[in-house]
């Protein structure tokens, strides 16, 4: 009976904290033993002086309440635990429970209340064409926290709004909720609805899917099964941890034993349709400061400081030949010279961001593969479909 009362108290406390985050129009909430709640508002993280300090027992109860929403059911003794939940009004949050000096700490990130368009994310609208493929593999690459899940959600939403079919998503955790529209959408969470990514992909191929989203491919079996699904007539979207488009190929191939890599490269050359590589950087250009002032009442204005640097590689015949021949180092030059095919490099994206006043020249040079070329391009670029009329719309 005591435990039940404590559980109810923790649940009530959690809901109050979520509602407070929404009321304060905060983007993030941090809970740590010995401190009051910290809210991030308009980019600034500060303690809530009107809230009491959270003791270790309170944090342990909150950690247990959150863990019950995951496959683990108990908070971690070592390491961390990810999950997602909704507040009373349906606002979605992503959370991470982790250990700190023997006690629990919790970080919650408020997710977007709507799925944004590609231009709003800072990506060219041409990328919607990736949702038009009938089959094959599309990879979204980038480091942790680079917005890969957000980009995937936008592409899946595009399919859901424009095509009839069956979409199965396999996620850990589920972040964005999709309501079936033109398509039937079934979302499965690893640990709750399925044992692991690989098992879910195998099962998905028996569930009459048209589109399969795989939250992350990182182990050999999952990669192999995802490639097989793409080979057998399904459109597969997946994320991979890699720094750029070319590196994504090596990341996938390197998981396999040397004697298998030649065959895997041939398979990839046939099924891979495109790779989008992206990363978030802090915008420090004049347009960012202007946009922040204009968006001061935006609940998620804190993220306006960030801009997206991306590049796109489409697997045309020349690119496919280089993949199968293990000549990845030559692919970048094809991307550079294939703007007519819709491809573009991260350097071209940096030049656009510099030209539109979203990043400084110093930042552009620091991130560029060829700094001098980026600055030169920025000075002579004309508006293109990749460049939006309102630079503020290219922010995350």
pLDDT of residue 294: 62
pLDDT exceeds cutoff 50 at 296: yes
Q: What is the CB-side half-sphere exposure of residue 183 using CA atoms within 13 A?
A: 24
Hey, what are 180's tokens?
């079936």
The CATH superfamily holding the domain 118-394 is: P-loop containing nucleotide triphosphate hydrolases (3.40.50.300)
For residue range 352-389, what is the model confidence (pLDDT) as tens digits? 999 999 999 999 999 999 999 999 999 887 555 444 44
Q: Are 205 and 198 in contact (CB under 8 A)?
A: no
Domains 2-110 and 118-394 share a fold: no
pLDDT of residue 8: 84
Position with higher pLDDT, 71 vs 142? 142
Confidence tier at 256 by pLDDT (50, 70, 90): very high
pLDDT of residue 392: 39
pLDDT of residue 396: 38
- Counting every residue written for the chain, the total comes to 396
- d(CA 263, CA 253) in angstroms, rounded, equals 10
Q: How far apart are the first and last CA of the chain?
A: 46
pLDDT of residue 5: 56
Hey, what are 96's tokens?
């991470």
Q: Which of 110-124, 269-283, 301-315 has the highest mean pLDDT?
A: 269-283
pLDDT of residue 6: 63
Q: Where are the domains of the chain?
A: 2-110, 118-394
Query: What stretches of the chain adopt beta strand conformation (E)?
Result: 28-32, 38-41, 44-47, 80-86, 92-100, 103-110, 136-141, 166-171, 184-189, 211-214, 235-240, 272-282, 306-314
For residue range 170-197, what is the model confidence (pLDDT) as tens digits? 999 898 999 999 999 999 999 889 999 9
Nearest Cα to 249, choosing from 141, 343, 147, 335? 141
Q: Looking at residues 106-114, what average pLDDT do you find? A: 90
Tell me the fold of 2-110.
Beta-Lactamase (3.30.450)
Percent of the chain whose pLDDT exceeds 90:
77
């Amino acid at each position: 009976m005591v435990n039940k009362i404590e559980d109810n108290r923790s649940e009530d406390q959690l809901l109050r904290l979520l509602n407070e985050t929404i009321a304060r129009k905060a983007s993030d909430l941090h809970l740590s033993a010995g401190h009051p709640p910290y809210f991030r508002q308009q980019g600034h993280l500060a303690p809530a002086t009107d809230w009491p300090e959270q003791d270790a027992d309170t944090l342990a109860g909150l950690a247990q309440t959150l863990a019950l929403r995951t496959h683990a059911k108990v908070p971690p003794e070592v390491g961390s635990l990810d999950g997602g939940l909704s507040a009373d009004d349906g606002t979605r949050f992503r959370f991470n429970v982790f250990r700190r000096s023997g006690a629990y700490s919790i970080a919650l990130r408020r997710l977007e209340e709507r799925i944004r368009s590609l231009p709003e994310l800072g990506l060219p609208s041409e990328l919607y064409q990736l949702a038009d493929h009938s089959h094959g593999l599309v990879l979204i690459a980038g480091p942790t926290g680079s917005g890969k899940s957000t980009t995937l959600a936008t592409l899946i939403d595009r399919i859901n709004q424009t095509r009839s079919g069956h979409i199965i998503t396999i996620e850990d955790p589920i972040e964005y909720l999709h309501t079936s529209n033109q398509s039937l959408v079934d979302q499965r969470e690893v640990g709750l609805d399925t044992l692991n990514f690989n098992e879910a992909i195998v099962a998905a191929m028996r569930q009459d899917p048209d589109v399969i989203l795989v939250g992350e491919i990182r182990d050999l079996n999952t990669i192999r099964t995802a490639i097989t699904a793409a080979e057998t007539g399904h459109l597969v979207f997946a994320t991979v941890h890699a720094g750029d488009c070319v590196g994504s190929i090596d990341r996938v191939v390197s998981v396999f034993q040397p004697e298998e890599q030649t065959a895997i490269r041939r398979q990839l050359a046939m099924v891979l349709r495109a790779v989008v590589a992206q990363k978030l950087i802090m915008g420090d250009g004049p347009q960012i400061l202007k946009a922040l002032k204009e968006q001061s009442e935006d609940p998620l204005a804190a993220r306006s400081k960030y801009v997206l640097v991306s590049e796109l590689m489409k697997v045309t015949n020349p690119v496919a030949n280089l993949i199968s021949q293990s000549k990845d180092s030559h692919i970048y030059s094809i991307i550079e010279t294939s703007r007519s095919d819709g491809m573009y490099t991260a350097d071209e994206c940096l030049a656009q961001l510099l030209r539109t006043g979203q990043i400084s020249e110093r930042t552009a040079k620091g991130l560029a593969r060829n700094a001098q070329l980026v600055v030169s391009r920025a000075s002579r670029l004309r508006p293109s479909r990749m460049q939006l009329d309102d630079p503020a719309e290219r922010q995350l």
